[in-house]
Amino acid sequence: MEAIKTKGLTKRYKKLLALNNVDLTVNEGDIYGFLGPNGAGKTTTIRLILDLISPTDGKVHVFGHRVADGVAQVLPRIGSVLGNPAFYPHLSGRENLNLFRDLLPKGDHMSVEEGLQLVNLREKAGLKFSNFSAGMKRRLALASAYIKDPDLYILDEPTNGLDPKGRVEVRDAIKNLGGRGKTIFLSSHLLNEVQEVCSRVGVLKDGRLINESHVSQLLRETSGVIVTAAKETMERISDVVSELDYVNGVEISDDRAFVDCPTDKSSQILTTLAGEGIEVQEVERKERSLEDVFIELTEDKEAHDE
Ligand SMILES: Nc1ncnc2c1ncn2[C@@H]1O[C@H](COP(=O)(O)OP(=O)(O)OP(=O)(O)O)[C@@H](O)[C@H]1O
Ligand SMILES: [Mg+2]
């Protein structure tokens, strides 16, 4: 089943079209990275999914329920961490979590100490919330989501404000939750982390969803091996290389052939061409990171053309 599905989701703030006809799909068990430049509409989407604001147009379904109609069925299954977490400033971190846990509907929840342990905050949890650092506040918010032990986590930049060790901890915790079959929808600007933990990504730009794909597919499509050789040998290179079973396609431009294949096949390609007596100048791997792909996808076309 789909954990989240939006159809024609649109949000207008006066003249500004913050979200424009977005159809996104998060499948159950996905670790879904929600990407986009500042102001693209990620937080707006998250607020709409959680029914914190109402759409101008379109619908959101979570676990098959229309959120606007089924908040009671849906919200207990979601744990979310957004922006500045709201806790009682005069209570300690631990007291806040105890209160939070007491207010949860009956069900299987984690203990407060387990939650604190997961975010490495047990030692500091006796401190008043108002005296917490930004990173500690963020960790406490994550702990509250863990304690609820929901089916779906919605996290708006979960590692924002965390130190490097905290980021690694959150990354590992997310992987761990994914391993337990939880669905995670997270927005982030840290594309190396997204590449490492997410199975699928959606890319927003100016309120539109411009791409939604599997991370591995997205990277595979844009990775390959480039063979540089004399122009007149290109056709032969294409013929020889196309026959290899690990090659999906060859594209030639001038003295370069882009070979769509796993990048670790570069030396085999070189050997094969040499075996055919074809002289090549260079065989290089074209490894692409999610960051490369993201920048290309979101680049301003007009600026690029100039
Ligand atoms: N309450 C509001 N009133 C008016 N405009 C708003 C409101 N909330 C958001 N916006 C505008 O909607 C657009 C999308 O904002 P949003 O916060 O969703 O972006 P974002 O993708 O989360 O960006 P960031 O990466 O900076 O967090 C922005 O232009 C923002 O100024
Ligand atoms: Mg945001």
Which has the closest alpha carbon to 149: 118, 185, 108, 95?
Answer: 108
Residue 38 lies in a domain: yes
| CA distance linking residue 98 with residue 75, whole number of Å | 20
Q: Is 39 in the pocket of ligand 1 (CB under 6 A)?
A: yes
* Ligand nearest to the backbone CA of 298: 1
Q: What is the Å distance from ligand 2's center to 49 Cα? A: 14
* 66 and 194 belong to one structural domain: yes
45 burial type by CB count under 10 A (0-12 exposed, 13-18 middle, 19+ buried) = buried
* 177 and 240 belong to one structural domain: no
Note the pLDDT of residue 305: 44
Q: Is 53 in the pocket of ligand 1 (CB under 6 A)?
A: no
| CA distance linking residue 222 with residue 209, whole number of Å | 19
Query: Closest Cα to atom 11, ligand 1: which residue?
Result: 18
Note the pLDDT of residue 169: 83
Mutate to test the pocket of ligand 1, among 34, 38, 43 (most ligand atoms within 8 A of CB): 43
Q: Is 13 in the pocket of ligand 1 (CB under 6 A)?
A: yes
Query: Closest Cα to atom 3, ligand 1: which residue?
Result: 13
| CA distance linking residue 249 with residue 156, whole number of Å | 39
Atom of ligand 1 nearest to the CA of 53: 1
* 107 and 210 belong to one structural domain: yes
What total of structural domains would you count in the chain?
Answer: 2
DSSP annotation of 105: P
* 246 and 112 belong to one structural domain: no
Sign of CA dihedral 249, 252, 253, 259: positive
Mutate to test the pocket of ligand 1, among 9, 13, 38 (most ligand atoms within 8 A of CB): 13
* 122 and 171 belong to one structural domain: yes
Q: Is 202 in the pocket of ligand 1 (CB under 6 A)?
A: no
* 32 and 160 belong to one structural domain: yes
> What 3-state DSSP class applies to 211?
strand
At residue 209's C-alpha, the angle toward residues 206 and 210, to 5°, is: 90
Note the pLDDT of residue 302: 52
Residue 151 lies in a domain: yes
* Ligand nearest to the backbone CA of 56: 1
Which has the closest alpha carbon to 64: 149, 152, 179?
Answer: 152
Q: Is 79 in the pocket of ligand 1 (CB under 6 A)?
A: no
CATH number, position 126:
3.40.50.300
Which has the closest alpha carbon to 259: 239, 243, 242?
Answer: 242
* 278 and 135 belong to one structural domain: no
* 127 and 269 belong to one structural domain: no
Crossing angle between the packed helical segments 266-275 and 234-242, to the nearest 10 degrees: 120
Residue 23 lies in a domain: yes
* Ligand nearest to the backbone CA of 48: 1
**What pLDDT tens digit does each residue of the chain (306 aa) get?**
899 999 999 999 999 999 999 999 999 999 999 999 999 999 999 999 999 999 999 999 999 999 888 778 888 899 999 987 789 999 999 999 999 999 888 877 889 999 999 888 999 999 999 999 888 898 899 899 999 999 999 999 988 878 898 888 888 888 888 888 999 999 999 999 999 999 999 999 999 999 999 998 888 877 899 999 999 999 999 999 999 999 999 999 899 999 999 989 999 999 999 999 999 999 999 888 999 889 988 987 554 444
Note the pLDDT of residue 306: 41
DSSP annotation of 31: E
pTM of the predicted model as reported, rounded to 2 decimal places: 0.84
* 48 and 113 belong to one structural domain: yes
Note the pLDDT of residue 121: 92
In terms of residue numbers, what domain contains 126? 2-214
Mutate to test the pocket of ligand 1, among 12, 14, 42 (most ligand atoms within 8 A of CB): 42
